[in-house]
Amino acid sequence: MRISVSSDMDEPVARLLVEELVRRGHEVRTYGALEPGTDPQWAVCSAAAARDVAAGAADQAVVCCWTGTGASIAANKVPGVRAALCADACTADGARRWNDANVLALSLRLTSQPVLKEILDAWFAATPSQDAEDLGNVAHVGHLDAGRGIV
């Protein structure tokens, strides 16, 4: 799978994230503090990784900042992106399953090595729900992206 990764700081958990994704066989493209010469500001690098997903250049993305909140907000401004801030495996599973999230947002402050691996395990094991209600909600979010979702 092609995964774009951004981080506004070169923190150990961000480096571990890239190493773990590569170890799992993913093709990784990096932004921000993880890629010399690219803008490390969370709003800039998170949007860059999210744009890769929206454009089809990446299948998914993982965006990181100190709390994960700013990275999530910036990624969610890109039409077609459904970014979810996940601090645990259960949330990551639900984000993929019920929300068909295509961008994982992580906190550099709160995510430990064991928790990172648990989150990634859950994220990659989950498949989007085919339940009509879940599909309808995801479709509604897509209409919001296009400015047609005001109901």
Distances (CA, A) of 84 to 36, 68, 69, 107: 26, 9, 9, 11
Residue 151 is predicted with a pLDDT of: 54
* Average pLDDT over the chain, rounded to an integer: 95
From the list 64, 72, 67, the residue with the least C-alpha distance to 16 is: 64
Mean pLDDT of 128-139: 89
* Whole-number pLDDT of residue 150: 55
> Within a 13 Å sphere around the CA of 15, how many CA atoms are in the beta-carbon half?
3
Residue 107 pLDDT exceeds 90: yes
Answer with the residue of higher pLDDT: 98 or 129: 98
Query: Could you give the domains of the chain?
Result: 2-145 (3.40.1400.10)
Kindly list the distances between the CA atom of residue 19 and the CA atoms of 60, 81, 91, in Å, as whole numbers in the listed order. 16, 24, 22
All residues at 6 or more sequence positions from 70 whose CB lies less than 8 Å from its CB, including other chains: 8, 42, 43, 46
54-63, 76-85, 104-113, 139-148: which range is least confident on average? Answer: 139-148
Q: What percentage of the chain has pLDDT greater than the value 70?
A: 97
Tokens of 25: 């066989």
Query: Nearest Cα to 122, choosing from 148, 89, 147?
Result: 89
Catalytic residue IDs: 65
Helix (H) or strand (E) holding 118: helix 113-125
Which residue in the block uniquely carries the two structure tokens 């801030």?
85
In this model, does residue 143 exceed pLDDT 90? no
1-34 pLDDT, tens digit per residue, is 999 999 999 999 999 999 999 999 999 999 999 9
Length of the chain: 151
Q: What is the C-alpha separation between 67 and 42, in angstroms, rounded?
A: 11
* pLDDT tens column, 72-106: 999 999 999 999 999 999 999 999 999 999 999 99
